[in-house]
Structure 1
Amino acid sequence: MTTPHLLPAHELERTSVVANNTMNRERGLAGVNSYARELGLDPVARLMARSATPSWLDLCSGKGHALREARPHLPAGAVLTGVDLVGPLVPAPTPAADLAPAPVPAPVPALATPGPELLTASVAHWSPDRTYDLITCVHGLHYVGDQLGLLTRAASWLAPGGLLIAHLDPASLRWADGAPAGRAAVAALRAAGFRYSARHHRISLDGPRAVRLPFRYLGADPAAGPNYTGQPAVGSHYAAAHVAASVPPQ
């Protein structure tokens, strides 16, 4: 078996597979191409059942359509944060040169309810300064080098009783020589408290905890090819390490 050429995060994020502007760009909150369908739950209903001032962190959020659509249905104190490597990419409108200038509109009062905070950053390095009731990553892990590392970090970002849910393709998890590591990784995640649905390729976790998995990240292969979605994805490579599985919250 040929050992693939593995890239560190800063090189991986410059490849066309990862630094694309199409992944998760148009997915909305509800409907056919939606978060509700992909996650198997209604994010707004989940948030409203959690707290009077709920909070939602969406990793690899694309244009942030789902967060924007959720905002009017949530109380004014709700916190909505989206993080994406490429960012929302919403250009300012440019008037045509041959059109007369538009009339200056009357001042609009500031909105009592602010929109979501959309951050352009690498999820491999970014971390929040607060916890969240809901953390989602809709098909975003397919483009992250250290997928297991992001899951373990995100586990500590949950508020008490919060939910982390993401898509995970075990076939993309490999040992150093390219041999499959998915079965061992899923077993370790389950031992640490995660749930995994093979049918839906969804990994989830209830409540915060400090998680350590018996894997050491080596690098990623952007030439791994299409995954179960049919789209090119990243192969994440690991070596075995011996660590404790998880530490429940005190």
Structure 2
Amino acid sequence: MNRERQLSGVNSYTRELGFNPLEVLAAGLVGAGRAEPSAAAGWLDLCCGTGRALIQAAGELRMAGLTERTLLVGVDLVDAFDPLPSPLSNLELICGSVANWAPTRTFELITCLHGLHYVGDKLAVLTRAAGWLTPTGRLVADLDLSSIRLPDGRPAGQRLTARLRAEGFSYDPRHRRISCTGRREVRLPYSYLGADDRAGANYTGQPAVHSHYAEDH
């Protein structure tokens, strides 16, 4: 997991995602002829690492005069956030488990770059996050489907992929990335059994966690 990824540049969210997260927030503000025009446009970054990208984004938003109209939230299990160059009232960096934490508002953008590789109940985090979107919000996360296993150790495979797509998710197998647009209540027929943190390295070359599930019938 690259904990020091920046907002833009070579090692950045913009390069990894293929878009600048601030563009999504800007679109959310333009669409603010929405039901609650006074609501701030929000970006939630799960497993945010040092929070560097969020800190940089908050600084750019302040320079653009958009501090009061935006909210950036980062959640990470490790309390190792970069120091703030100055107070940023539209930024919250929270030390906590993404498996248990929940927001009190919805977001225009939710990201989780390579964080799910190290989470036990990956499907729970993914499905809960889908319910935290605005009606036009966007969720983007890295997800290696080969790390989701059945009780006998086999990958859940195409059946899981089909069920995710039936629930409104899109999956890019080349980039191992899952996404969806618009808030949704997701129900997947899988029960979490536990995780194997000795699964070894995944496609990133870093040690990862396999998550085991039983199919509900």
Q: Mark yes or no: TM-score above 0.5.
A: yes
Q: In structure 1, what is the equivalent of residue 151 of structure 2? A: 176
Choose from 72, 77, 84 the match for 2:59.
72
Q: In structure 1, what is the equivalent of residue 134 of structure 2? A: 159
Structure 2 unaligned blocks of 5 or more:
31-39
Q: In structure 2, what is the equivalent of residue 87 of structure 1? A: 79
Write out per-residue CA displacement over residues 26-66 of structure 1, whole angstroms, 9 at most, x where no aligned residue.
10011111111111211011110112631000000011011
Choose from 6, 27, 30 the match for 2:8.
30
Equivalent position amino acid for 1:76 in 2: T
**Which region of structure 1 is more displaced relative to structure 2, 134-143 or 181-190?**
181-190
Percent identical pairs in the alignment equals 57
How far, CA to CA, are the matches of 2:78 and 2:59 in structure 1?
Answer: 25
User: What is the SS of the residue equivalent to 2:67?
Assistant: coil
How far off is 1:91 after superposition? Answer: 7.4
Equivalent position amino acid for 1:226 in 2: A
User: Aligned ranges for residues 1-250 of structure 1 at < 5 Å?
Assistant: 23-51=1-29, 53-74=40-61, 75-77=66-68, 78-90=70-82, 114-242=89-217
Q: What is the TM-score with the length of structure 1 in the denominator?
A: 0.77
Equivalent position amino acid for 1:233 in 2: A
Write out per-residue CA displacement over residues 135-168 of structure 1, whole angstroms, 9 at most, x where no aligned residue.
0000000011011111110011001100000000
Greater fraction of residues in helix: 2
Structure 1 unaligned blocks of 5 or more:
1-22, 93-109, 243-250
How far, CA to CA, are the matches of 2:170 and 2:94 in structure 1?
Answer: 28
How far off is 1:84 after superposition? Answer: 0.1
Q: Is the 8 A contact 2:81 2:93 kept in 1?
A: no
Q: In structure 2, what is the equivalent of residue 3 of structure 1? A: none
How far, CA to CA, are the matches of 1:123 and 1:24 in structure 2?
Answer: 17
How far, CA to CA, are the matches of 1:49 and 1:40 in structure 2?
Answer: 16
Q: What is the TM-score with the length of structure 2 in the denominator?
A: 0.88
How far, CA to CA, are the matches of 1:90 and 1:189 in structure 2?
Answer: 35
Q: Is the 8 A contact 2:142 2:176 kept in 1?
A: yes
How far, CA to CA, are the matches of 1:32 and 1:167 in structure 2?
Answer: 18
Q: In structure 2, what is the equivalent of residue 9 of structure 1? A: none
Write out per-residue CA displacement over residues 65-89 of structure 1, whole angstroms, 9 at most, x where no aligned residue.
1101111332112110000000234
How far off is 1:182 after superposition? Answer: 3.1
Write out per-residue CA displacement over residues 84-140 of structure 1, whole angstroms, 9 at most, x where no aligned residue.
000234579xxxxxxxxxxxxxxxxx95x5252100000111111111110000000
Q: In structure 2, what is the equivalent of residue 11 of structure 1? A: none
Flag the 1:123–1:232 CA change in 2: closer, same or farther, 3 A. same
- Structure 1 stretches of at least 4 aligned residues deviating more than 6 Å after TM superposition: none
**Which region of structure 1 is more displaced relative to structure 2, 183-192 or 77-86?**
183-192
How far, CA to CA, are the matches of 2:60 and 2:51 in structure 1?
Answer: 15
User: What is the SS of the residue equivalent to 1:233?
Assistant: coil
RMSD after superposition: 1.7
User: What is the SS of the residue equivalent to 1:126?
Assistant: coil
How far, CA to CA, are the matches of 2:133 and 2:67 in structure 1?
Answer: 21
